[in-house]
Amino acid sequence: MKGITHFVSGLAVATFFPKAVCMASRGGIVEGAESSFILVLGALYGIMPDTLDFKFGQFFSLPDYDIDCDPIHPDPQKMAESMGKAMEEAFEKDKLVKVQLYPMQLGSDLWRQYVIKFDGENNEVVIILNEIVSTSQVPFEGTAPKENRVGRYKLKSGKMLETHGRPSAVDIMSGPQFGFQKFGEHVLVEFLPWHRTWSHSYVLGFFLSLPVFAITYFFNLTNWYLYGLIAFLGFATHITEDLSGHMGGSLLWPFIKKRYNGFCLARASDPRLNFSVIYLSVTIILFNIDRFTVNVIPLPWYKYYFFFFVIPIILFLIFAEIFGVKTQIKEGLIGVDEILKQARVSNAAAIDELNSEEESIIE
């Protein structure tokens, strides 16, 4: 899910603690009110797993190979060969090989988009040069190269094992990293090998909440244990929410390092899901604050949630259906299926959940 969704839902979870809600109120409103910032911890720890990945973790994942193509004279064949040889090296030497791709920037607001497809059927890496796009990822029609547009490399050793099966587009700001690893007779392709690993672990969440417990205890704050508990629950909420998608996380790192798959219930970047969770969180926050402090809402909980959550969300979903609020496919990717067909690459829906999640975080 998007960063803001985790942030707000972490906050919503924190408001289930009556003492914390009272402590957060301005002095004099209710007993125990002390203008505490305790609830903010839930939000901060709610966004922390992705912060750790995208602001820190990715820089520690040094690539073995950089594929940084000349934007003026791009050579897709050479790019495909570099990727393919990295995969062969991973298979032959039985080690993790990481490849970093970079965007092709042509101007302050101009980027050459390209697409990478791991074609498991033909055991090929395919690179397709696409249109020039703006920083808003809007393509300029007719700017796709007329020739030398597709590069492909057939693996000489190992059978490609693609886990997400869909093309990835690289255009603005930064490019993805791929990890290749031997897996039996296969070369496993991992997208963003640094994402949702150690950072998305309940164990790490517990350890990161320990300093909060310690500091609040040391300063003898009222209900000191609540600060650490709320911090941990914010972190845990994020990891649990991420399980609704495809990728999951390394839930028990460092004890079990495996990255578990999610339940595949929804796409992480789906605006309908994200908005619904944010809206639900806001209604929960208001209701909880009210019931633990000022008590101005004259409705029982079921009526409140029916009138202020169920009905508005139904209306929102109708609105979303009518006006096409859904996961936005990069405009440059819409035509990729056709190009893939022309290039005799096995077809797949041109959406990449992981890629779109990275975008949703970066945006």
Partner 1 sequence: MTLFLTILVYTLGGTIVGSFISFLPSLHIYNVAGIALLIWGSMADILPEIAMIPFFTSLIVAFAFLNSIPMTLFSAADESASAIILPGTKNLLLGKGYETVIMSGIGSLVGVLFLVVGTPFFYKIMPYINNIVRPNLAWILLTVVAYMLMSEWPKGAGYGKTVWQKFSGAWANLFAGIASFLLAGLLGILIISKSIVTHQMAFQNIMPVFIGLFAIPSMIQNLLITYKIPKQFVPKETIDLDGKTLVLSSYQGCISGFISGYVPLITAGIGGIIAGAATALRGDKIFIIGGGVAKVIYYVGSFLFLFVITGLSPYGFAKGGLNIILKPYFSPQDNDYFLILSIIVLSGCVSFLMLMWLAKVAVKVLQKINFKLMYVVMLVLIVIFIYSLTGLNGIFVMIVSTCIGTIPVFYHCRRSNLMAVLLFPIILNMAGYGEKIADFLGLIKF
Rounded CA-CA distance 9/241 in Å is 9
Contact pattern from residue 169 through residue 188 relative to partner 1, giving x for each residue in contact according to CB under 8 A and a dash for the rest: ----xxx-------------
Percent of the chain as helix, strand, coil, to the nearest 5: 45, 15, 40
Q: What is the C-alpha separation between 226 and 224, in angstroms, rounded?
A: 5
- Which token pair is 233? 């629950």
Nearest to partner 1 of 237, 274 (CB atom): 274
CB of 287 to partner 1, least distance (A): 9
* Residue 147: CB minimum distance to partner 1, A: 27
Minimum CB distance to partner 1 smaller for 201 or for 281: 281
| Torsion over CA: 332, 266, 54, 258 (sign) | negative
> Which residue from 122, 135, 163, 240 is in contact with partner 1, where contact means CB under 8 A?
135
Return the range that interacts with partner 1 (CB under 8 A); candidates 85-93, 189-197, 226-234, 292-300: 292-300
**Single-letter amino acid, residue 113:** Q
Termini Cα distance of the chain = 12
Instruction: Please pick, from the candidates 26, 93, 257, 344, the single residue that binds partner 1 as defined by CB under 8 A.
Output: 26
Among 16, 102, 183, 260, binds partner 1 (CB under 8 A): 102
Task: Examine residue 250 and tell whether it contacts partner 1 (CB under 8 A).
Answer: no
Q: For residue 85, which of 151, 150, 152, 155 has the smallest C-alpha distance?
A: 155
Q: Does residue 314 interact with partner 1 by CB under 8 A?
A: no
Q: Which is closer to partner 1, CB of 189 or CB of 277?
A: 277
Please spell the DSSP secondary structure of 54-112, one letter per residue: IIIIHHHS--SEEE---SSS--HHHHHHHHHHHHHHHHHHTS-EEEEE--EEEETTEEE
Closest separation in Å from C-beta 288 to partner 1? 10
C-alpha–C-alpha distance, residues 182 and 169, integer Å? 25
Exactly one of 7, 180, 232, 235 binds partner 1 (CB under 8 A); that residue is: 7
Q: Which residues bind partner 1 (CB under 8 A)?
A: 2-4, 7, 11, 24-27, 29, 33, 35-40, 43-44, 47, 51, 54-56, 58-60, 62, 68, 102-103, 105, 107-109, 134-138, 173-175, 269, 271, 274-275, 278, 286, 289-290, 293-294, 296-297, 319, 323-325, 328, 360-363
